[in-house]
Structure 1
Amino acid sequence: MIDSLTSLRFFAAFAIVLHHAKGLVFSSEFMKGVPLSSGVSFFFVLSGFILSYVYSGRMGSVGLYNFYTSRFSKIWPPHILTFVLLVVLIPTNEGWIIALLNASLLQSVVPIPAYYFSFNSVSWSISAELFFYAAFPLLMAGLNKNWHIKLVALLLLGGVGAYIIDLSGVNYYSPDKWTEFSAHGLAYISPLFRIQEFFMGMLLFKVFDYIKGWKWFGFALCTVLEILCVAGVILFTQGIAEAIAYSLIGIENNASGEFWSHCTLGVFFGLVIVCFAINKGLISQILRLRLFVVLGEISFSMYLVHQIVFRFYRAHRNMFESVPKEMIFPLLLIAVLVFAYGIWRFFELPAQAKLKNMFSKLGRKKESQNSTALT
């Protein structure tokens, strides 16, 4: 694993935490223009890049069974724990069907807000990731030869789909239509409309794999490139998305604007990831410090638990009346980090190891039974 990329996961998760704090402890104008809401796009691209980095040329030896069980073992334990925590701490009456879909990470395929934003609402993106994992071996197969065919097919799938949604004039997203079909549930949530970002991460890994050995990537050049990347993400991400969504596509075409801005940001974030993956600049060296790596390791749990902490605060504001206003967010952030570290250290890692061990034993048992049947 590339430590600098692990550390970057924390900053993406922290951006999402800040985004969800707007309207809760910060005003809606807080950090206006800074792309806090784009953290999910960054995660999708990074996921495609990292999986390609880990499994490129190894899928045959690893095998589909080991790949799928490994990915499930990584994402499901912290998801189900935070699901249970939310049910216990903030009881809801969302219904057993919605609960079952959420617990099994299938909510992203139902384009109804009451389903995809149910319980721990941020888990919709983990649900989408699950479908990316399912498609990953197929996307990887023969990628060097057929990447252009797959890219065009995925862009047509999302682009034509978004265009049809806009033509249909169906409701895009309305809080007062919580239990009705929402085009937002397709263009923003559905794995079919977000897998393009994941695939761009895979393609940008190929770029990285090609250029990583170039000798002129020295400390000075890489430091400059990393600084430009950080400045670009902060200063231009929002402008890039708005230029696509509003100027080129048109503000009235919500689905198309959403889709093509995500695709554009996918390329942009992919280039940023390539820059830091080279791992030779000053910022990437700082990101390799143990503190940042650990923060990156807990970022998944941080992402899943922060909404629970925020919702608990919203439901019990009276408990914080004596706390100075400027101290509310620091206290909430400390709570998020403490819970995230605890979940990662004492639940996520042990549960992941136990699930992998269980699946490994089941796999060996199945192989043994098959061998016996053949003889």
Structure 2
Amino acid sequence: MGLIRTLLALSVVFTHAGGIDLVGGRNAVQIFYMISGFLISYVITERKSYNSVGEFYISRYTRLWPQYILIAIISLVVFYFIRPLEADLFFRAFGSLNVVPAYFLAFSNASLVGQDWLMFAEITRGGFAFSSDFHKAAFPAYFGLLTPQSWTLGVELTFYAIAPFVLPRRWLILVLLGLSLSIRIVLVQAGVGMTDPWTYRFFPAELFFFLIGSLVQQLGSKRYQAMFSPIYDIGVTAVLTGLVVSYALIPSHELLKSAALMGCFAIALPALFRFQHGRKWDIVIGNLSYPIYINHILIITIMHAAGMRPGGILFAVIAAVLSIIIALAMNSFVGGPVDNWRKHLRRRSAPVVALSL
């Protein structure tokens, strides 16, 4: 699962850098949602890693926030001293807001909370107003984010908030799965369901992917392990890796390709999960996925400010290589120590005790 996750992160990098196509940003993000649902279901319902909801929240938040805030602070320094185009938009966003909305925007930048909501807002008359399409907004609110791609972390945090109460109750998973799918169908019928930002930024519709991953873990993981030997994991992982790399070359309608891609990943999650066990190299590669994702916009911004022309293969490769190098450093100095602390938190929790709800 680690290699796949990092390839998905690089797919987002290439989407923003241009020049190279893998599965695209939207597909990569929604596959990440499924993987997240699978893994969170595992730690809550099977491994039962935490004694309390509070410990779960602390562990998940500290998985995301330390590396995020590091990049956010560096981005603020870059904006202040190097002054790329993004800096003018960022400071203009704060300058256009009244005190209370400006405090909310600052709080969102500092905490990650609500960044996904800002994708549905524009700045006008000193405050925020709803915008159904930020592409058409006069001044989108996300211009005020230091790391605009971290809106996905706001979606993740919302899922984490409800996961301890939903995932142990399979009937509730099914109910919410149906509701989420119904919301997506209504959005499509309303004419916005296939357009950004409604395609993959609206949590009630995206909850479907988290819950599909959770349901696969609960219903399919043990069955897969009983039916197939570990040798199948290698084949499944190889096929999915090839699919991610060659996706853009498949001659088919994008909607059909995307649906098939999601279906393949949903079915393959138990194999991908078991594949990483006992393969330290896969875990090490997978640990690069989050820091790559969180640092790559900063890398691309600095490359733009340095006068490099975006859109070509060379630009994309340089952005990817620099993102990987920075990710290695982030894991060494931030991610590693934080993960050690999180492991200590899990060890203090009795592994056979369910979450206290």
TM-score category by the smaller chain?
0.7 to 0.9
CA distance in 2, matches of 1:128, 1:67: 17
SS at structure 2 position matched to 1:103 = helix
Give deviations 1:171-227, integer Å, cap 9, x for gaps: x9xxxxxxxxxx73344312212111111111111312222122x4362x5544444
Q: Is the 8 A contact 2:295 2:326 kept in 1?
A: yes
Where does residue 161 of structure 2 map in the other structure?
A: 134
CA distance in 2, matches of 1:132, 1:296: 21
* Gap change, CA 1:269 and 1:165, over 3 Å in 2: same
Q: Is the 8 A contact 1:7 1:295 kept in 2?
A: yes
Structure number with bigger Rg: 1
* Gap change, CA 1:17 and 1:46, over 3 Å in 2: same
Percent identical pairs in the alignment equals 20
Q: Is the 8 A contact 1:298 1:340 kept in 2?
A: yes
* Gap change, CA 1:241 and 1:155, over 3 Å in 2: farther
Q: Let me know the Cα RMSD of the aligned residues.
A: 3.6
SS at structure 2 position matched to 1:198 = helix
For residue 103 of structure 1, the aligned residue among 103, 107, 110 is: 110
Q: Does 1:51 align with 2:12?
A: no
For residue 54 of structure 2, the aligned residue among 59, 65, 73 is: 65
* TM-score of the aligned structures, taking structure 2 as reference length: 0.73
Paired residue type of 1:193: A
Q: Is the 8 A contact 1:240 1:265 kept in 2?
A: no
CA distance in 2, matches of 1:239, 1:135: 39
* TM-score of the aligned structures, taking structure 1 as reference length: 0.70
CA distance in 2, matches of 1:128, 1:342: 26
Flag structure 1 segments of 5+ consecutive residues without an equivalent: 173-182, 246-260, 362-375
Paired residue type of 1:35: V
CA distance in 1, matches of 2:58, 2:162: 14
Where does residue 334 of structure 1 map in the other structure?
A: 321
CA distance in 2, matches of 1:305, 1:222: 31
Where does residue 154 of structure 1 map in the other structure?
A: 180
Paired residue type of 2:109: N
Q: Does 1:120 align with 2:110?
A: no
CA distance in 1, matches of 2:155, 2:283: 25
Paired residue type of 1:207: G
Where does residue 306 of structure 2 map in the other structure?
A: 316
Ranked by relative contact order (alpha carbons within 8 Å, sequence separation 6 or more), the top structure is 2
CA distance in 2, matches of 1:327, 1:35: 19
Where does residue 288 of structure 1 map in the other structure?
A: 279
1:330 CA displacement: 4.3
Paired residue type of 1:209: K
For residue 14 of structure 1, the aligned residue among 10, 22, 32 is: 10
For residue 64 of structure 2, the aligned residue among 56, 61, 75 is: 75
Aligned residues: 306
1:273 CA displacement: 2.2
* Gap change, CA 1:271 and 1:116, over 3 Å in 2: farther
CA distance in 2, matches of 1:327, 1:243: 29
* Gap change, CA 1:6 and 1:54, over 3 Å in 2: farther
CA distance in 1, matches of 2:215, 2:233: 21
CA distance in 2, matches of 1:100, 1:241: 41
CA distance in 1, matches of 2:230, 2:340: 38
Where does residue 196 of structure 1 map in the other structure?
A: 208
Give deviations 1:65-88, integer Å, cap 9, x for gaps: 111111111111111111111111
Q: Is the 8 A contact 1:241 1:265 kept in 2?
A: no
CA distance in 2, matches of 1:17, 1:293: 20
